[in-house]
Chain A
Amino acid sequence: MSTLKHKGKGPQAITANGLRNGPVVYLDPNYQWSTSFDDALISEDPDIIEKMRHAGDAAENANLVVGVYFIDVSAETGLPVRYRERFRTNGPSYDPGTPPHDSFVPTFIGG
């Protein structure tokens, strides 16, 4: 049973974390998962949103991703509406790790 619903308004994107390794991922137009929000599939079309929902459920069931949910995206800026989600697209603003988070090249998981 799917619990994945979209309750938002306007354009939607789908995000999750990779199950095995944990990175933030977004569903892309090829229904693959990219670590870059720039690749995210963003749509207002109910049919496409329904397909996104299916893809999210399928990826969760295939043990590819964990914690799938829809996010609202602003039609004007093309960025997530909620502050938290905007922030999440970039990784931490302070990062002592080596290599730093923002040096990661976008990668795809599964597909």
Chain B
Amino acid sequence: MYRYDEFDHEFVRARTRQFRGQVERRLKGTLTEDQFKPLRLMNGLYLQLHAYMLRVAIPYGTFNATQMRQLAMIADKYDRGYGHITTRQNIQFNWPELVDVPDILDDLADVEMHAIQTSGNCIRNVTSDPWAGAAADELEDPRATAELLRQWSSLHPEFTYLPRKFKIAVIASQKDRAVLKAHDIGIQIIKNDLDQIGYKIFVGGGLGRTPIIGKELVEFLPRIELLPYLEATMRVYNRYGRRDNKYKARIKILVTEMGIDAFKAEVDDEYSYLSPSDIAVSKDEIARITSYFAPPAFENLASSDADYERARRKNIDFARWAQNNVARHKVDGYAIVNISLKPIDGAPGDITSAQMRVVADLAEKYSFGEIRATHEQNLVLPYVKKSDLFALYMSLQDNALQADNIGLITDIICCPGMDYCALATARSIPVSQAIAERFSDPVRQQTIGEMKIKISGCINACGHHHVGHIGILGLEKAGVESYQIKLGGDGSETAAIGDVTGKGFSQDELIDAIERVVDLYLNNRNDNERFVDTYRRIGMGPFKEVLYDAA
């Protein structure tokens, strides 16, 4: 798997030393808050509603058991015993103290972690498919490309002061498990008719107050041209992206205002002036990076395992968990295990330090030490032998990690909302908990089938509500929380922005409203049609009726 090279070591240590000095100066008063704020943000440190918050980068969601244990140590020593997995595959600590942050960054650096590129108007931590290296449907491991981009973007002088933050995601399958088209740039690794591997590039996607689905910029970009072409794209953005109004500064606004064709013409023009060979990375370098992601030493196994099948037949809970949380692996005899961080009464994405240590132990014992964080705020053990699944499940059960709801109605994406976030207009965690509670019956969840509920506590849309099958946006109306509902959003390869149903609901009304929507769907669906497909077929009308007329 990915490891730091010497350059990263030096750089991260130097950055931490520098930040220690900056914190000292801030505490002494030789740096004012205005001067200090951009510096702390560059190191992932925010001031939130109740306290500071530190966001730690997990590059493309991949980390290992040692790193997880260190995160647990940090949670216990400097924070309040837990962490929160974000929709950008990072982890946040909600209660660090400014005076401790330099030590935390040192402790992170000890395990090759940091908080760089988790904030500010730079190219942020690159995200990817959490099943990378394991998914049965991938063309290759997308993390090699993600890592190439990380190295290219980390310190690139042209990209340290962009008009606005910039998010890139990379996938290597038809199925999109990384919300590709909601990114400033989305990169899909594909094969052309000549069987060559290259890239399909999407540009100008994003959520926030102006949700836009990314548009295709290039249908097939030869592998070697990736960095030069992206560099040309970034230059066009840097040149024309607005800086006068931060709400209009994302590349999605530029692409929309120019039109994709004119934007592409600008990029192609810029590209024609570049010397790709100066920017493109050599074959050797690509081979070196790719070697970081060499598959682990898989054993030669039969594709099915008799003990596993027997356990499924005998233990109904295990069978349900296996059906929902275990995914097909590209190697025979192995499985991808999704660990749900969505217990009915918890906050989506929260994990205690004790659970972190359990996951670290399980990763070491069963998954070559590897762990992934997903944008849906869950964890993944990517390389588990089918014969180990039952033992693994028992350990999860002992540690309150056995939630068996992946992809179901209680597997909710939910931002921290007003419980933690300074920008929030309403809470989101209690809404998520109330919905989970209402639909907690596993049989009912199974009946409803695939359902993506996504909740944001303000229009910044960190909870991806625009692309939820059911999206919920918390607002403040005359001093009380009010929740707008969107229907028909989709964060997958068939990406779509949901439609607003109409006026908002109070927290009390909301859960009944959601239930009416779900019941209407169940009464109208054809066979095993998913909610989002029923919505597409019958449209908003009937849903509006049950939402507003029945009440």
Interface residues of A (CB under 8 A from B): 17, 19-24, 60-63, 66-67, 81-84, 87-88, 91-99, 101
Contacts and interface: CB of A to CB of B under 8 A. Distances in A.
B393 interface: no
B50 A98 contact: no
A24 B48 CA distance: 10
Main secondary structure of the interface of A (DSSP, over half): loop
A32 to B, nearest CB: 19
B298 to A, nearest CB: 37
B62 interface: no
Contacts of A99: 80
Given A94-B429, A98-B80, A67 B27 contact: no
Contact of A23 (B33, B51, B94, B430): B51
A95 B425 CA distance: 18
B418 A84 contact: yes
Interface string B37-78: 000000000010111100000000000000000000000000
A22 B97 contact: yes
Interface in B454-499: 476, 479-481
Interface residues of B, number: 37
A81 B94 CA distance: 26
B480 A83 contact: yes
Interface of B: 26-29, 33, 47, 49-52, 79-82, 94-99, 346-347, 350, 352, 418-420, 424-425, 427, 429-430, 433, 476, 479-481
Given A19-B27, A94-B419, A66 B51 contact: no
B455 to A, nearest CB: 13
Contacts, number: 84
Contacts of B26: 19, 63
A84 B424 CA distance: 8
B27 A96 contact: no
B424 to A, nearest CB: 8
B419 A93 contact: yes
Contact of B418 (A87, A95, A96): A87
A17 to B, nearest CB: 6
Contacts of A21: 97-99
A69 B306 CA distance: 65
Nearest to B347: A94
A22 B51 contact: yes
6 contacts: A63-B28, A83-B479, A83-B480, A93-B419, A94-B419, A97-B95
Q: Which 7 residue pairs across A and B have the least CB separation, nearest first?
A: A97-B80, A92-B419, A22-B51, A22-B52, A21-B97, A98-B81, A63-B29
A21 B101 CA distance: 10
Given A21-B99, A22-B95, A95-B419, 18 more contacts: A17-B47, A17-B51, A19-B26, A22-B47, A23-B50, A24-B51, A63-B26, A63-B28, A63-B29, A81-B479, A83-B476, A87-B49, A91-B50, A92-B419, A92-B429, A93-B419, A94-B347, A96-B346
